[in-house]
Chain A
């Protein structure tokens, strides 16, 4: 486009959004497919929220932990170009190793020293089968981990919500327990839209809204009006 005025785009800061996903054996079957569906389903709304926030450059990555702990999306991808490739389940629940992998990437470098608070979303259906506590301590040594908005979604009642609470590390933010696929879709959409919005440029602040930690993430999703028919 022809430039009619000087300057360029509004200066912005990166906003790192990282999915940390449990792909252990217990996730096999419907659960992993529901998770794949829910994330894929959330992408258009996530792109739209990111687009409305010129102050932020939303960059997405994904860690999976199961048979192995690895980056499912290793290179931070601009949300505008973000596509979801389905994940497969199998193996144990090495959540601790996932925390170590995450910690390595939250160091400066590779992180830049100027950014918006990262958003880290842990999704699990079980309990860690390795040393989560030490790995979590290690993670929280990193200043970007401390500054991050950390959220946790439990898939079903068997998930260890105490571990998720520890990961979140903020009493005001509760683990979101998804008991059916519709709730999962709703929670994932919330994490990838409302929370991204809050971290990049908090939306209109409502009176009496609780301020949660260093980023006001607003009201948690209300599940009371959702159907409860699809039970895992």
Chain B
């Protein structure tokens, strides 16, 4: 094999430590990635091909190393290694952990996450890109290969961060990955920017939720040879969302685009409306959905999860329920689902299932969306098995107002019954139970 680095090769670091090349992991358009060890600890090392080892790339990496990662989801460059003999270089970054699977595995259905895990992954993804963009940076190459997620927990890791630059940096080298690049890049009118990142993020979320590309419908079905001119037309010159309410020329074709059809029936109205916006008005840069809206919608999707009696996860569609009074029909057993009790906090409606957890961000809008340290869990009364409640897992006491107006305190560790109309004051916000 013709590789840039050899196994067992030792690369000096600042004359003190050294980096031992353990094995080749993979290659891409710019270089190769190796598993290495430094002081016995495993890391990943990306080494650039001579043509890609430019002074601009090096300066860009030095900048990224200096400013540090936007959050802990990014496998961010830690430090540079150089080979003075041929002026090539690489950088050390954290090694991706084995429980994190590629979006490719999700597309091939080799990993089967729950909707819950996908919603959490969506929240993390939107949140991480929000932080990156808030720092004035631009990712430029969001695609299948750059995101990994834990199908059990929904946690994510974002790789290939070496193409990140300041938004608007004219020294761009990477234009993005076809199918993910924004229409204006496909048409050759623009370079990657924060705005084009937002389009790619929407495509990635669509792939994750629908296992299908948002622009591949009837138009795609009619294409014989799917080559560059065909891709340019489909993704650049005449992009039409498969569920554009005003333009029905590109609907999914049964037998070819079955995933789009199946998942479209599954998601609640607010998610469908968001994707419609993302791929209608959002085809233009100033119409793009911002990360915060994606994040809040993914969190709302998480809160809308219900279980059918058959065990399948479904979503409560509040819009549909308010209009028709009908509950969601289960995608798996095709029977109507039974609506569980709900907790309404401000505008948010949280489904109360047996495994529902209430997190700090649910009860305090100033706290970021993290799915850890729950403040409440659903609990069954130890004697009266038909009685369910919220157990206070927080350090603060809650105040509960009954339907009769009686006020009681719920100390940490204690429970409050899920009775229709009961109000719970969590400190910063007040919620009401709806049964």
Interface residues of A (CB under 8 A from B): 1-11, 13, 41, 48, 51-55, 113-117, 143-144, 147, 182, 185-186, 189, 201-207, 211, 214-216, 218-219, 222, 225-226
Tell me, yes or no, whether B26 is within 8 Å of chain A by CB: yes
A207–B51 Cα distance when bound, in Å, is 13
A199 nearest CB neighbor, chain B only = B227
CA distance A226 to B4 in the complex (A): 11
Q: Mark B1-30, 1 if CB is under 8 A from A, else 0.
A: 110000000000000000000000010111
- Find the residue from B1, B181, B224, B258 having the highest chain A CB count within 10 A: B224
Contacts of B81 in A (CB 8 A): none
Known contacts A8-B109, A10-B108, A11-B257; is-contact A201 B2 (Cβ 8 Å): no
Closest beta carbon of chain B to A81's beta carbon, Å: 15
A224 to B223, CA, bound (A): 40
Size category, B interface: 35 or more
Task: Provide the bound-state CA to CA distance between A200 and B418, in Å.
Answer: 54
CB-based contact A203/B177 at 8 Å: yes
Tell me if B224 and A115 are in contact (CB < 8 A).
Answer: yes
Question: Which residues of the partner chain A approach B29 to less than 8 Å between Cβ atoms?
Answer: 203-204, 206, 218
Q: Which residue of A4, A41, A186 is within 8 Å of B313 (Cβ)? A: A4
List 9 additional A-B contacts (Cβ < 8 Å) besides A115-B226, A203-B28, A222-B51: A9-B107, A41-B1, A51-B104, A54-B144, A55-B179, A147-B227, A201-B178, A204-B30, A214-B225
A54 to B145, alpha carbons, bound, how many Å?
Answer: 11
Given contacts A52-B145, A204-B177, contact A114 B112 (CB under 8 A): no
Pair A205/B263 contact, Cβ less than 8 Å: no
Are B50 and A225 in touch, CB under 8 angstroms? yes
Q: What mask results when residues 146 to 182 of chain B are scored 1 for a CB within 8 Å of chain A, else 0?
A: 0000000000000000010000000011111111010
Q: A6-B332, A206-B173, A206-B174 are in contact. Are A48 and B50 (CB under 8 A)?
A: no
Give the shortest distance, in Å, between A189 (CB) and chain B (any CB): 8
Task: Determine if B303 is an interface residue (Cβ-Cβ < 8 Å).
Answer: no
Q: Does B229 contact A (CB under 8 A)?
A: yes
The complex places the Cα of A204 from the Cα of B207 at a distance, in Å, of 18
- Can you list 18 contacts pairing A with B, beta carbon distance less than 8 Å? A4-B115, A5-B113, A5-B118, A6-B263, A6-B331, A7-B259, A8-B258, A9-B107, A115-B224, A115-B226, A116-B226, A143-B224, A189-B2, A204-B163, A214-B229, A215-B227, A216-B228, A219-B51
Q: For the complex formed, measure the closest distance between the CB of A161 and the CB atoms of chain B, giving whole angstroms.
A: 23
Report B317 CB to chain A, min CB distance, Å: 15
Which B198-224 residues have a C-beta within 8 angstroms of A?
Answer: 207, 210-212, 216, 221, 223-224
Interchain CB contact under 8 A, A207 and B174:
yes
Residues of B within 8 A of A41 (CB): 1
A1–B263 alpha-carbon span in the complex (Å): 19
Residues of A within 8 A of B114 (CB): 4-5
Does B292 reach chain A (CB closer than 8 Å)?
Answer: no
> Do the beta carbons of B113 and A117 come within 8 Å of each other?
no
The residues of A that contact B179 with a CB separation of less than 8 Å are 55, 201
Partner of B112, one of A2, A55, A147, A202: A2
Judge whether A204 and B174 touch: CB under 8 Å. Answer: yes
- Kindly state whether residue B407 has any CB partner on chain A within 8 Å: no
User: In the complex, how many angstroms separate the beta carbon of B214 from the nearest chain A beta carbon?
Assistant: 13
The reply to whether B221 and A201 contact each other, CB–CB distance below 8 Å, is: no
Q: Which residues of A contact B175 (CB under 8 A)?
A: 204-207
